[in-house]
C-alpha cells in the first residue's frame, strides 16, 4: 500500500513493537493489581449464563469473558480478552499507516488504553471495528473480512451497527457496483442475526433501553449537550490529540470529497485509507454529537471514532506528527499518574474514581464479616437470598464473595436481572449504600428489623421478611 504524501516515518517497526509490548505489560500489571469495576463484574455474571443477547448490550463481551475465564477466575482472566483486543486492533491498523510506532503510541493514550484494559463491550468493539477498517481498505475480497468484522462489531455494542454503513458509504459508487461489498454486508447481517432474533423474541429490549437511555431525557440539553460531548472527547483523548484530529478532519475534507467522487474499486493507496478513516471518524461524531443534544451522553460512546482517528492523525504532513507524538507522550504520562494514584493517592478528590477499583474486595469482605455463615452458601432459589438495591453491588458480591446476589426486583433501574426471572423470597437480606434514606428502595421494600451490626463503611444490610 503506497503512501506518497507521507514519506518519512519518525520511528521504525522495532520501536512500534516495543511500545506495544510496554502497553501490554502495563495493562497486565494493572489488571492484576486493580479490582474489577462494577460493570466488569456485571459482564462476568453474564458470562456465567451465556445467551445471544442481554438487557443492556449484545452478547460479545459475555462471550469474550467466558472464553478467557474458562481456565481461571481472577481479574486478569476477566481482562485478558480486552487486552488481547488492543493488540488485535493495532495489528489490523498498522498496515494502514507508514508510522506504526506513532500508531502504537496513540493507542496507549488514556481512553484507548483504558477501553482495551477493562472488560467492557468497548474492547471487542474497537478490535472488530479496526479489522473491518483494514478489510475495507484492502478492497475486493477484503470486503468479506470487513463484513465479518462488522458483524462481530454488531454483536459487541449497538454503535457497532454504524461500522458497515459508514464503510459502504466511504467505498464510493464505483466500488459499490462490484459484488464484494454486498457479500460483505450479507456476512455482517448473518453474524448479527442471532442477536437480532434474540431481541425480537425479547421485545427489542436492548434497543429500546439503549435508545431510551441515549435519546430519552425528559429535558433535552440541546446545543449545550453537543458542546459538552465535544469537550469530553477532547479530555478523554487529551487536548493535543483532539486538536490533531480536528486538524486532520479539516485538512483532509477536500481531498476526501475528491477521492470519494473519483474513487475506483481497487485504489489501494493512502487516498483510500484516508477516505475510509475519515468517514468512520466523522460519522460517529456527528451521530453521537446529535444524540448528545437529546440526552446527556457518555464519553466512551464515541470510542469507535478514535479507531479511524488514530490512523488519520499519523498521516498528517509537516510538523503535525510531532504534535501527535507530544499528545501520545502526554497520554502515557496521564496513564502512569492514574496508576500511581490508584495505588497511593496523589491528591484528595471528593469523588475519587480510584476508589472504584478497590470497591469489590472491600464489599465482599464486609458481607462475609456480617452475613450469617449459613446464608453465605444459599442459592437465589433458597429461602434467604441476598438482594441489593443496584446491579453493581450484586455483581461485585457475586464475583468476589461467590455469593449469587441479585438486585431486588422492586429496586433500582431495569437490568439483566429482570430477564432472569427470580421470584421474591419471603425472607432474605437487602444490601444498600449506607445513608440512602429512611426507606428501602423508596418504600418499595420493607425491612424486618434493624441493619446487621458490624457493617462498616459504605454499605448496610437489612433483614427482609420473617426475622431469623
Give pLDDT, residue 379.
56
- Domain shared by 336 and 423, yes or no: no
- The pLDDT of 277-306, averaged and rounded, is 90
Which pLDDT band, with edges at 50, 70 and 90, does 331 fall under? Answer: confident
Which pLDDT band, with edges at 50, 70 and 90, does 370 fall under? Answer: confident
The DSSP result for 50-75, as a single string, is: --S--SSS-SHHHHHHHHHTSS--SH
CB–CB of 468/384 below 8 Å?
A: yes
Tell me, yes or no, whether 136 lies in a domain: yes
- The pLDDT of 318-332, averaged and rounded, is 90
> 107-111, 187-191, 321-325, 413-417 — which one is most confidently predicted on average?
187-191
Please write the tens of the pLDDT for every residue from 153-193.
999 999 999 999 999 999 888 888 899 999 999 999 999 99
Tell me, yes or no, whether 297 lies in a domain: yes
Tell me, yes or no, whether 98 lies in a domain: yes
Q: Residue 447 forms beta bridges with which residues?
A: 464
Determine the straight-line distance between the first and last CA of the chain, rounded to whole angstroms: 72
pLDDT at 265 over 50: no
- The pLDDT of 13-30, averaged and rounded, is 92
pLDDT at 263 over 70: no
pLDDT at 306 over 80: yes
Tell me how far CA of residue 105 lies from CA of 20, 247, 308, 327, 468, in angstroms.
Answer: 8, 19, 15, 9, 58
Range of the domain at 297: 13-343
| CA dist., res. 88 & res. 388, Å (int) | 37
- Domain shared by 256 and 373, yes or no: no
At which residue does the C-alpha cell 503506497 appear? 2
| CA dist., res. 377 & res. 366, Å (int) | 16
- Domain shared by 116 and 246, yes or no: yes
Give pLDDT, residue 371.
82
CB–CB of 129/153 below 8 Å?
A: yes
In this structure, are strands 459-464 and 406-407 parallel, antiparallel, or unpaired?
unpaired
- The pLDDT of 285-302, averaged and rounded, is 87
pTM for the full model? Answer: 0.93
Locate 106 and state its grid cell: 496513540
Structurally, how many domains does the chain consist of?
2
Tell me, yes or no, whether 8 lies in a domain: no
Q: Which of 289, 315, 343 is the last residue of a domain?
A: 343
pLDDT over 70 for what percent of the chain?
91
Tell me, yes or no, whether 130 lies in a domain: yes
| CA dist., res. 38 & res. 106, Å (int) | 27
- Domain shared by 227 and 308, yes or no: yes
- Domain shared by 295 and 385, yes or no: no
Tell me, yes or no, whether 5 lies in a domain: no
Please write the tens of the pLDDT for every residue from 112-166.
999 999 999 999 999 999 999 999 999 899 999 999 999 999 999 999 999 999 9
Q: Which of 317, 343, 369 is the last residue of a domain?
A: 343
Q: Which of 276, 308, 343 is the last residue of a domain?
A: 343
Give pLDDT, residue 467.
52
> 5-9, 70-74, 243-247 — which one is most confidently predicted on average?
243-247
> 146-150, 235-239, 324-328, 356-360 — which one is most confidently predicted on average?
146-150
- Domain shared by 428 and 279, yes or no: no
- Domain shared by 159 and 21, yes or no: yes
- Domain shared by 249 and 185, yes or no: yes
- The pLDDT of 218-243, averaged and rounded, is 86
- The pLDDT of 389-399, averaged and rounded, is 94
Lowest mean pLDDT among 39-48, 73-82, 101-110, 259-268: 259-268
Please write the tens of the pLDDT for every residue from 31-45.
999 999 999 999 999
- Compute the mean pLDDT over every residue in the chain, rounded to the nearest whole number: 88
Tell me, yes or no, whether 351 lies in a domain: no
Q: Which of 192, 331, 311, 313 is nearest to 250 (CA)?
A: 313
- Domain shared by 279 and 391, yes or no: no
| CA dist., res. 422 & res. 411, Å (int) | 14
pLDDT at 267 over 60: no
SS3 204: coil
- The pLDDT of 341-351, averaged and rounded, is 73
Which pLDDT band, with edges at 50, 70 and 90, does 376 fall under? Answer: low
- Domain shared by 213 and 240, yes or no: yes
What is the side-by-side order of every strand in the sheet holding 386-388?
406-407, 386-388, 428-433, 459-464
Lowest mean pLDDT among 97-101, 216-220, 444-448: 216-220
In this structure, are strands 428-433 and 459-464 parallel, antiparallel, or unpaired?
antiparallel
Helix, strand, coil % over all residues of the chain, rounded to 5 = 65, 5, 30
Tell me, yes or no, whether 339 lies in a domain: yes
- Domain shared by 274 and 387, yes or no: no
Residue positions counted in the chain: 468
pLDDT at 439 over 90: no
Tell me how far CA of residue 319 lies from CA of 102, 218, 233, 277, 352, in angstroms.
Answer: 14, 46, 23, 21, 37
pLDDT at 4 over 70: no
Give pLDDT, residue 11.
64
Give pLDDT, residue 255.
86
- Domain shared by 271 and 134, yes or no: yes
pLDDT at 422 over 80: no
Give pLDDT, residue 126.
97
H-helix segments, 116-179: 122-138, 142-154, 163-171, 173-176
| CA dist., res. 38 & res. 393, Å (int) | 7
Phi and psi at 373, nearest 5°, equal -55, -40
pLDDT at 60 over 90: yes
Q: Which of 133, 15, 123 is nearest to 63 (CA)?
A: 123
Q: Which of 283, 290, 288, 314 is nearest to 301 (CA)?
A: 288
Please write the tens of the pLDDT for every residue from 224-233.
888 998 888 8
- The pLDDT of 391-410, averaged and rounded, is 92
Give pLDDT, residue 259.
80
CB–CB of 184/149 below 8 Å?
A: no
| Higher local confidence (pLDDT), 380 or 319 | 319
Amino acid at each position: 500500500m503506497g503512501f506518497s504524501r507521507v514519506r518519512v516515518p519518525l520511528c521504525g517497526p522495532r520501536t512500534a513493537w516495543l511500545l506495544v509490548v510496554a502497553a501490554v505489560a502495563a495493562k497486565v500489571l494493572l489488571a492484576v493489581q486493580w479490582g474489577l469495576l462494577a460493570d466488569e463484574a456485571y459482564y462476568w455474571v453474564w458470562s456465567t449464563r451465556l445467551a445471544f443477547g442481554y438487557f443492556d448490550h449484545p452478547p460479545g463481551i459475555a462471550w469474550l469473558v467466558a472464553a478467557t475465564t474458562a481456565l481461571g477466575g481472577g481479574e486478569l482472566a476477566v481482562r485478558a480478552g480486552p487486552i488481547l483486543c488492543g493488540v488485535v486492533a493495532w495489528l489490523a491498523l498498522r498496515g494502514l499507516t507508514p508510522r506504526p510506532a506513532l500508531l502504537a503510541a496513540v493507542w496507549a493514550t488514556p481512553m484507548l488504553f483504558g477501553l482495551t484494559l477493562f472488560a467492557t463491550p468497548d474492547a471487542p468493539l474497537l478490535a472488530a471495528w479496526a479489522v473491518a477498517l483494514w478489510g475495507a481498505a484492502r478492497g475486493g475480497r477484503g470486503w468479506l473480512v470487513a463484513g465479518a468484522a462488522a458483524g462481530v462489531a454488531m454483536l459487541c455494542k449497538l454503535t457497532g451497527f454504524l461500522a458497515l454503513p459508514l464503510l459502504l458509504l466511504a467505498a464510493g459508487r464505483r466500488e459499490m457496483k462490484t459484488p464484494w461489498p454486498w457479500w460483505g454486508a450479507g456476512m455482517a447481517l448473518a453474524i448479527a442475526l442471532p442477536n437480532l432474533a434474540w431481541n425480537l423474541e425479547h421485545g427489542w429490549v436492548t434497543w429500546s433501553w439503549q435508545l431510551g437511555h441515549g435519546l430519552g431525557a425528559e429535558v433535552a440539553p440541546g446545543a449545550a449537550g453537543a458542546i459538552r460531548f465535544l469537550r469530553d472527547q477532547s479530555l478523554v483523548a487529551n487536548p493535543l490529540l483532539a486538536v490533531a484530529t480536528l486538524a486532520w478532519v479539516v485538512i483532509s475534507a477536500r481531498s476526501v470529497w475528491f477521492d470519494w467522487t473519483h474513487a475506483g474499486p481497487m485504489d489501494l493507496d493512502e487516498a483510500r485509507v484516508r477516505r475510509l478513516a475519515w468517514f468512520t471518524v466523522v460519522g460517529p461524531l456527528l451521530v453521537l454529537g446529535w444524540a448528545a443534544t437529546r440526552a446527556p451522553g457518555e464519553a466512551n460512546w464515541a470510542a469507535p471514532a478514535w479507531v479511524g482517528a488514530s490512523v488519520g492523525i499519523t498521516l498528517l504532513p509537516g510538523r503535525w506528527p510531532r504534535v501527535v507524538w507530544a499528545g501520545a507522550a502526554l497520554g502515557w504520562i496521564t496513564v502512569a499518574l492514574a496508576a500511581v494514584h490508584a495505588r497511593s493517592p496523589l491528591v484528595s478528590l471528593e469523588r475519587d474514581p480510584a476508589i472504584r477499583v478497590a470497591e469489590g474486595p472491600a464489599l465482599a469482605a464486609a458481607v462475609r464479616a456480617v452475613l450469617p455463615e449459613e446464608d453465605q452458601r444459599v442459592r437465589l432459589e433458597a429461602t434467604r437470598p441476598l438482594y441489593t438495591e443496584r446491579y453493581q453491588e450484586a455483581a461485585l458480591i457475586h464475583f468476589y464473595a461467590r455469593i449469587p446476589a441479585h438486585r431486588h426486583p422492586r429496586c433500582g433501574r431495569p437490568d439483566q436481572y429482570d430477564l432472569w426471572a427470580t421470584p421474591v423470597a419471603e425472607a432474605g437480606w437487602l444490601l444498600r449504600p449506607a445513608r440512602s434514606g429512611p426507606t428501602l428502595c423508596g418504600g418499595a421494600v420493607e425491612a424486618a428489623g434493624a441493619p446487621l451490626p458490624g457493617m462498616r463503611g459504605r454499605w448496610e444490610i437489612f433483614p427482609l421478611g420473617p426475622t431469623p
